[in-house]
Structure 1
Amino acid sequence: MYSEVVVVGQIARDLVIEVSDAPPADGSAPVRHRQELLGGKGANQAVALSQLGVSVSLVGVVGQDRTGDTLRAQARADRIGTSHLVRRAGTETALIVDVVDDQGRRRYLEHIPEATLLTETDVLAASAPLSAAGSVIVQLQQPAPAALLAARLAHTAGTRVVLDGAPQDEAFTPGLLALADVVRADGHEAELLTGQPVEDVAAAARAAADLRRRGPSLVVLEVAGQGNLFAGPEGSWFVPHVETEVVDPTGAGDALVATLTAALTRRRPLETAACLAVAAAAATTEHAGGRPRLSRPDLDRLQPRRLELVHA
């Protein structure tokens, strides 16, 4: 039995270290709390989808090492399908280190071996679940040829294609956009996709209109420090950031993408999907680390109370 949503993206060991003060260069600050979690953008999104009650599978790569064994077991414990999780011999599993102090200042370090990135062969081996899903999330931080193949397999089968980010090789941008149903990008990624800075809501609306002409029916763009624009066929809405106590912004975008995808897969109206997605992002900033902790009470508590209609 295949999953409602398949996530094509990164899986890593996520080491979250909370310290009392900003860590000095020698890393000697007192450690208050230390967690080792299933992490990486792909795993974070898959965890969020599972927490929302959506059946989900993950297509990603870990090393053929003890850490890879541990992460695969954690994914299964999180009710994430792992039958197309690749074990790559001769490489280490990716590592992400997130150091957070009491003032929310962060040091973000990562060790991502090239062999832990997806190849076209890896994606082709997952063609059956990609074609059978209701939605597929493709993270564009993965190599562009693999991302393009995943999008093409899903699109050809009539599966909703959700692109997250911007490809590192801009030569692949037109092909990816032509296959997409949904594109979500932060401010920097939106500039990479369009060639124009997205500094305010008006600029985001122009950028979203440009992207929608190139393929996707729904475009979600972050306006840094302000909120997110949701531009779809029924209209465009700007949803401001929710006021909450931010501990660590890591993973907020992953929670947003996952929750938006869950709502669209379950055929919720765009306005509802947008509010839930923004609430999920806010909830994820309330604790250290990128792993989401989504619950219905938190989504209700943090749902935005207003949406601003935007005329593109």
Structure 2
Amino acid sequence: MFSEVVVAGQIARDRQELLGGKGANQALALSQLGTSVALLGVVGRDSAGDALLAQARAGRIGTSYVVRRPGTQTARLGDVPAGTLLTEADVFAASAPISAAGSLIVQLRQPAAVALLAARLAHTAGTRVVLDGAPRDDELTPDLLALADVVRADRHDAERLTGQPVPGVAAAVRAAAALRRRGPSLVVLEVGAEGNLFAGPEGTWFVPHVETDVVDPAGAGDALVAALTAALTRRHPLETAASLAVAAAAATSEHPGGRPCLSRPDLDRLQPRRLETVHA
């Protein structure tokens, strides 16, 4: 049985030897939201890799397509050895779950050619393609955008994708419109420290950050992507998906370490009070 969402991204260990990395964090958040999820990533054939896979399975994350790379040490956060990156062969081996999933999240810290292959396999099968970030190879950006259904970028990645700074809401509206003309139907951009802009076929909304006691902002973006994808996979309207995404980001920022810890009471408590309609 295949999963609703496949996450292609980094698996790493933090200082406490806990499961981490963008891909693993997104997969864990999806699982906490009740979405069946499989992780496509790389760990070493070492005790750290064994421990991380056990933690993933305990979190109800499918690990059948996690690659165990001989001779590679399982990565630590902030350290990305070449052996811990996905290859095209790894992606081909996971073509069945990618094609059967409702959505594929592609973390663009992976090699651009590998990300492009994963996006092509998903797009061909009718699987929703969610791109997180900006590719490391600018030459492949047009091809990736053409295959994407959803693009989410923080302010740095948004500038890299568009070639223009995104200092405020008006600039984000222009950047989102430009990106949507290149392929994705939905673009989500971080607007400085103010909030996030959601621009899609149903309309454009700016959602301010939820006021909460921020302990650690790391991982908030991963939770946002995961919650947005979970809602879209279950065909919720964009306004509902945006509200859930922002609440998940806020909930994650209340805990140290960047690991999601999403519960229904917290998500209800942190629902944004308003979504501001923006006329593009």
Counterpart Cα distance in 2 of 1:14 and 1:308: 37
For 1:297-312, list aligned pairs within 5 A. 297-312=265-280
- For structure 1, which runs of at least 5 residues remain unmatched after alignment? 16-34, 97-109
Question: Which of 62, 71, 78 is the matching residue for 2:52?
Answer: 71
Identity %: 80
Q: Which runs of 4+ in 1 moved over 2 A?
A: none
Cα pair 1:136 1:159 within 8 Å, conserved? yes
Name the Cα RMSD after superposition. 0.6
Question: Which of 97, 102, 105 is the matching residue for 1:137?
Answer: 105
Counterpart Cα distance in 2 of 1:14 and 1:257: 21
> Is 1:60–2:28 an aligned residue pair?
no
Counterpart Cα distance in 1 of 2:192 and 2:125: 35
Cα pair 2:104 2:128 within 8 Å, conserved? yes
Q: Deviations over 1:175-215 (max 9, x none)?
A: 00000000000000000000000000000000000000000
- The structure with more strand, counted as a fraction of residues: 1
Counterpart Cα distance in 1 of 2:237 and 2:22: 26
> Is 1:50–2:31 an aligned residue pair?
yes
For residue 242 of structure 1, give the secondary structure of its aligned residue in structure 2: coil
For residue 84 of structure 1, give the secondary structure of its aligned residue in structure 2: coil
Counterpart Cα distance in 2 of 1:37 and 1:244: 25
Question: Which of 45, 51, 70 is the matching residue for 1:89?
Answer: 70
Q: Deviations over 1:100-133 (max 9, x none)?
A: xxxxxxxxxx222111001111111100000000
Largest Rg, 1 or 2:
1
Query: How far apart are 1:217 and its partner, in Å?
Result: 0.2
Query: How far apart are 1:91 and its partner, in Å?
Result: 1.1
Query: How far apart are 1:290 and its partner, in Å?
Result: 1.3
Match of 1:22 in 2: none
> Is 1:123–2:91 an aligned residue pair?
yes
How many pairs were matched up? 280
Counterpart Cα distance in 2 of 1:111 and 1:239: 33
Opposite residue 164 of structure 2, the aligned amino acid is Q
Match of 1:9 in 2: 9
| TM-score, length of structure 1 as denominator length | 0.89
For residue 173 of structure 1, give the secondary structure of its aligned residue in structure 2: helix
Opposite residue 243 of structure 2, the aligned amino acid is C
For residue 258 of structure 2, give the secondary structure of its aligned residue in structure 1: coil
Cα pair 1:228 1:238 within 8 Å, conserved? yes
Cα pair 2:9 2:106 within 8 Å, conserved? yes
> Is 1:258–2:226 an aligned residue pair?
yes
- The structure with more helix, counted as a fraction of residues: 2
Cα pair 1:37 1:291 within 8 Å, conserved? no
For residue 299 of structure 1, give the secondary structure of its aligned residue in structure 2: helix
Q: Deviations over 1:234-278 (max 9, x none)?
A: 110000000001111010000000000000001111001001100
For 1:69-218, list aligned pairs within 5 A. 69-96=50-77, 110-218=78-186
Counterpart Cα distance in 1 of 2:17 and 2:274: 37
Counterpart Cα distance in 2 of 1:122 and 1:157: 18
Counterpart Cα distance in 2 of 1:130 and 1:117: 18
Query: How far apart are 1:161 and its partner, in Å?
Result: 0.4
Cα pair 2:17 2:48 within 8 Å, conserved? no
Opposite residue 2 of structure 1, the aligned amino acid is F
| TM-score, length of structure 2 as denominator length | 0.99
For residue 184 of structure 1, give the secondary structure of its aligned residue in structure 2: strand
Cα pair 1:242 1:282 within 8 Å, conserved? yes
> Is 1:219–2:183 an aligned residue pair?
no
Counterpart Cα distance in 2 of 1:294 and 1:224: 24
Q: Deviations over 1:276-312 (max 9, x none)?
A: 1000000001011111000111010000010111111
For residue 14 of structure 2, give the secondary structure of its aligned residue in structure 1: strand
Query: How far apart are 1:36 and its partner, in Å?
Result: 3.0
